[in-house]
Amino acid sequence: MDRVALRGLKARGHHGVFPAERAEGQTFVVDLVMGLDSRAAAAGDDLGKTVHYGVVAEEVVGLVQGEPVDLIETLAERIAEQCLRHEAVREVEVCVHKPDAPITVPFDDVTITITRSRV
């Protein structure tokens, strides 16, 4: 399976379990790796036979900026579901970073990584 990756998509969202996270929001970063077969697209030089990563990027940012959820696990699941709506995408790995998570000790990042595929 071929891979199309989008790394470092950034958007401000209001996800989290604490009231301050919901009120103030914070930056989330999303990495995607979408699995597909790109041979038909390459053979015909045809965007319609692959995934339009610009569209996917806009959709992902819309989800991060959209309806708040408590857990980044839920956000990752929503992103995976959206990616799999694209016909060419057979599977997707989604990593959601929450670098400003409300943790009381020094840390670099908090992430959840999920992999989903068509049934």
Active site residues: 98
Two tokens at 59? 């959709």
Do 51 and 88 touch, CB atoms closer than 8 A?
yes
Q: How far is CA 73 from CA 1, 36, 51, 86, in A?
A: 25, 24, 24, 21
What is residue 113's three-state secondary structure? strand
